[in-house]
Amino acid sequence: MSEKVFDITQEDLLWVEELLKGYGRKKEELLQILRDVQNRFGFIPMKVQIKISEYLDIPLSEVYSIVTFYAFFSLKPKGKYRISVCKGTACYVRGSEKIIEKLTQYLKIQPGDTTDDGLFSIDIVRCLGACGLGPVMMINEDVYARLKPDDIPKIISKYEPPFKNYEEVMKEQEEIVKSRKRAELKPSTKLVTA
Ligand code: FES
């Protein structure tokens, strides 16, 4: 399967040029430049990698190897629905590995990656502040707690077009919530316990 190319606008490229000028031709600033680009675009576009390598006069392979080495950097934009799975200690001992495994099988992407349709991306995080409810994951602002691997397909289907079964899934989840033990969650967090 060919890699989808994620393009950026001329205006974005001008922004990159200004950024590079601000740092000057200092190779030691490469990491910081990449951080700024990641923060601006949510990923490091290939066109920008080429521009950086030309400006700093370093091989493109060197830029690419840094982008792919650090988990902080991404080669693709994050999905419309950003899935964050907690792998902190409390969630880990309650089976977050199995949740991650199911997600990667179901969406056919690895953590740090985005589906080709741009809908979903998976990230591993260290704590979502709901340790008593592990394993926990978030999809954008929705929090799913006390997860089991079999919950994943139905949860994901809520966000997949044509969204036909959204109501049905929400109803089922309400029932599941009632049948599973409740626990405290920080008040600002919207819980959609699965
Ligand atoms: S360890 Fe998972 S929410 Fe804190």
DSSP string, 64-108: HHHHHHSTT--SSPPPSEEEEEE-SHHHHHTTHHHHHHHHHHHHT
Q: What is the pLDDT, as a whole number, of residue 176?
A: 62
For 41, counting Cβ atoms within 10 Å of its Cβ (0-12 exposed, 13-18 middle, 19+ buried), the class is: middle
Q: Does ligand 1 come within 6 angstroms of the Cβ of 156?
A: no
Q: How confident is the model at residue 29 (pLDDT cuts 50, 70, 90)?
A: very high
Residue indicated by tokens 């601006």: 40
User: Average pLDDT for residues 109-125, to the nearest whole number?
Assistant: 90
Contacts of 175 (CB under 8 A, 6+ apart): none
For 120, counting Cβ atoms within 10 Å of its Cβ (0-12 exposed, 13-18 middle, 19+ buried), the class is: buried
Query: How far is 39 from 157, CA to CA, in rounded Å?
Result: 29
How many angstroms separate the alpha carbon of residue 127 from the centre of ligand 1? 4
pTM > 0.75: yes or no: no
Closest ligand 1 atom, CA of 90? Answer: 1
